[in-house]
């Protein structure tokens, strides 16, 4: 199996001013491309040949194969959850119901998600996932890990590696988190629910 780049459903400058073209050019075009190239170099000849990204992230021991597969899976979920023209600025349908049930309100969910994102020390990701019973949970993952490693179903992820925001926001991670809500495609997030 050859691991491929996800195709962006928007132009590289379409998420401005929340995410600049320069950041997409580097983050998608350089960082993600490197993870894809690395994994395609690393997997042949190992027992991960023919495995999906999810299978590798679930099964691989800590190390280069796990790190690169995790980061490809993370960035696929990340880049495909954005839209330049929000059809709805807030979750609707069963996603809205689940958020209200678990977090009380959309505003409180955003606060808890921001707290997770800003309190993560170093490089990593904050995620909204479903557990085995479909209940929504917010978790933090360090470096390149992904919630599927813990048996969760990730539906929304914020990348808090500095490469995701430093060109546009420098050290202001919290401002970047606040801005990301403006480009989330909630229909995409809802469709990821099982």
Q: Which residues bind Mn ion (CB under 5 A)?
A: 159, 161, 164
Of 159 and 190, nearer to Mn ion (C-beta) is: 159
Minimum gap (Å) between residue 189 Cβ and Mn ion:
18
Give which of 107, 125, 117, 134 is closest to 190, Cα–Cα. Answer: 134
Of 30 and 191, nearer to Mn ion (C-beta) is: 30
Whether 168 contacts 148, CB under 8 Å: no
- What Cα–Cα distance (Å) separates residue 153 from each residue in 13, 22, 71, 114, 158? 30, 31, 16, 20, 15
DSSP for 63-127, written as a single string? THHHHHHHHHHHHHHHHTTB-SS-S-SS--HHHHHHHHHHHSSHHHHHHHHHHHHHH--SSEEEE
Give which of 83, 82, 56 is closest to 146, Cα–Cα. Answer: 56
Of 103 and 169, nearer to Mn ion (C-beta) is: 169
β-sheet bridge partners, residue 130: 136, 153
Of 100 and 143, nearer to Mn ion (C-beta) is: 143
Of 58 and 162, nearer to Mn ion (C-beta) is: 162
Of 108 and 170, nearer to Mn ion (C-beta) is: 170
Q: How far apart are the first and last CA of the chain?
A: 26
Minimum gap (Å) between residue 67 Cβ and Mn ion:
12
Minimum gap (Å) between residue 31 Cβ and Mn ion:
5
Minimum gap (Å) between residue 160 Cβ and Mn ion:
9
Residue with the shortest CB distance to Mn ion:
159
Whether 177 contacts 157, CB under 8 Å: no
Minimum gap (Å) between residue 167 Cβ and Mn ion:
12
Listed in sequence order, the residues at least 6 apart from 91 whose beta carbon sits closer than 8 Å to its beta carbon are 99, 106, 186, 189, 190
Minimum gap (Å) between residue 24 Cβ and Mn ion:
11
């Amino acid at each position: 199996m050859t691991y491929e780049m996800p195709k962006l459903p928007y132009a590289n400058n379409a998420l401005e001013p929340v995410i600049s073209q320069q950041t997409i050019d580097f983050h998608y075009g350089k960082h993600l491309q490197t993870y894809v190239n690395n994994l395609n170099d690393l997997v042949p000849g190992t027992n991960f040949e023919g495995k999906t990204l999810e299978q590798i992230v679930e099964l691989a021991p800590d190390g280069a194969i796990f790190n690169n597969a995790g980061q490809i899976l993370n960035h696929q979920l990340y880049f495909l959850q954005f839209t330049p023209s929000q059809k709805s600025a807030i979750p609707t349908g069963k996603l809205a119901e689940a958020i209200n049930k678990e977090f009380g309100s959309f505003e409180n969910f955003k606060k808890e998600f921001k707290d997770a994102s800003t309190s993560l020390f170093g490089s990593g990701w904050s995620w909204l996932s479903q557990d085995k019973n479909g209940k929504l949970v917010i978790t933090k993952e360090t470096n390149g890990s992904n919630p599927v490693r813990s048996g969760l179903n990730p539906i929304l992820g914020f990348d808090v590696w500095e490469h995701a925001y430093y060109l546009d926001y420098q050290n202001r991670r919290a401002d970047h988190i606040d801005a990301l809500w403006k480009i989330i495609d909630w229909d995409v997030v809802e469709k990821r629910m099982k």
